[in-house]
């Protein structure tokens, strides 16, 4: 069956959230504005996440999964998803349900005119420390990339798959997806979306990997930008 959009759900130790994720996604599929499938990427979970993912996929034909042998981090999980999907569009969202899959329809309204459309979390329901560290990280990243994005860490995005597959991902580069699409000559847009508090599971990022990690990644991005090869074939026989 041909799908227009595949939604990637990276999962690392989210056993307390997965049944809620299943319910939320099934409800979204009823109202999705394009034909949509789901791809779980189990990032080496050590709890019962993989077992639950397998059960969810067994009872829902539109759900599929891949499972990494060991935990490699969010960027690797997203990259593995990008490499796997075959639909024209690929989106992703976190398994913590702090964003709603229903908001993919807001992003889809603009995807014909842009190569990447990302959410911007309004009225964020996070702790003060998480909000301020995220703001600092965004300001640092924006100063380096000049991508104009207000909330690059928002875990709700849709990208044209041909652009996603060309992104040279490395650890931490999920924060730089808009900048990498710009490097390819693509265009990007941000759209306000809902945000909700985490009610189950544990956050995977703290002050150290939300601020100091992105600062180091900025230098990696600058190296890629300087060395990046981008071309288009005009004619061929």
pLDDT digits (tens, 9 = 90+) for 111-134: 999 999 999 888 765 555 565 666
Q: Report the pLDDT value the prediction gives residue 133, as an integer from 0 to 100.
A: 60
Report yes or no on 153 lying in a domain: yes
Report yes or no on 101 lying in a domain: yes
Report yes or no on 170 lying in a domain: yes
Q: Report the pLDDT value the prediction gives residue 124, as an integer from 0 to 100.
A: 64
Q: Which residues of the chain are under the pLDDT cut of 70?
A: 1, 124-140, 142-143, 197-198, 201-214
Report yes or no on 234 lying in a domain: no
Report yes or no on 30 lying in a domain: yes
**Residue-wise over 97-134: b if at least 16 C-beta within 10 A, else e?**
bbbbbebbebbbeebeebbbbbbbbeebebeeebeebb
Report yes or no on 236 lying in a domain: no
Domain containing residue 94: CATH number: 3.90.550.10
Provide the residue range defining the domain that includes 53.
5-227
Q: Is 203 within 8 Å of 123 (Cβ atoms)?
A: no
How far, in Å, CA of 120 to CA of 163, rounded?
21
Q: Report the pLDDT value the prediction gives residue 231, as an integer from 0 to 100.
A: 72
Instruction: Calculate the dihedral angle through the C-alpha atoms of 191, 192, 195, 201, rounding to the nearest 10 degrees.
Output: 20
How far, in Å, CA of 16 to CA of 19, rounded?
7
Q: What predicted TM-score, i.e. pTM, was given to this entire model?
A: 0.84
The helix (H) or strand (E) run that includes residue 10 is strand 5-11
Q: Is 155 within 8 Å of 98 (Cβ atoms)?
A: yes
Report yes or no on 222 lying in a domain: yes
Domain count, the chain: 1
Q: Report the pLDDT value the prediction gives residue 56, as an integer from 0 to 100.
A: 98
């Amino acid at each position: 069956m041909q799908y227009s959009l595949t939604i990637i759900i990276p999962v690392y130790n989210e056993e307390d959230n997965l049944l809620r994720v299943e319910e939320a996604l099934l409800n979204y599929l009823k109202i999705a504005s394009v034909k949509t499938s789901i791809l779980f990427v189990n990032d080496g979970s050590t709890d019962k996440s993989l077992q639950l993912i397998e059960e969810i996929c067994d009872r829902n034909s539109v759900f599929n999964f891949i499972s990494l042998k060991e935990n490699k981090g969010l960027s690797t999980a997203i990259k593995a998803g990008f490499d796997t999907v075959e639909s024209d569009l690929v989106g992703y969202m976190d398994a913590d349900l702090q964003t709603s899959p229903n908001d993919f329809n807001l992003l889809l309204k603009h995807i014909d005119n842009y190569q990447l459309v990302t959410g911007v979390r309004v009225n964020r329901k996070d702790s003060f420390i998480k909000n301020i560290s995220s703001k600092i990280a965004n300001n640092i990243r924006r100063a380096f990339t000049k991508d104009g994005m207000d909330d690059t860490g928002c875990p709700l995005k849709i990208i044209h798959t041909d652009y996603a597959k060309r992104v040279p991902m490395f650890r931490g580069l999920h924060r730089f997806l808009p900048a990498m699409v710009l490097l390819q000559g693509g265009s990007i847009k941000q759209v306000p979306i809902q945000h909700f508090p985490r009610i189950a599971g544990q956050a995977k990022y703290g002050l150290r990997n939300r601020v100091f990690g992105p600062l180091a990644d900025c230098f990696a991005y600058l190296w890629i930008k300087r060395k990046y090869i981008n071309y288009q074939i005009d004619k061929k026989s």
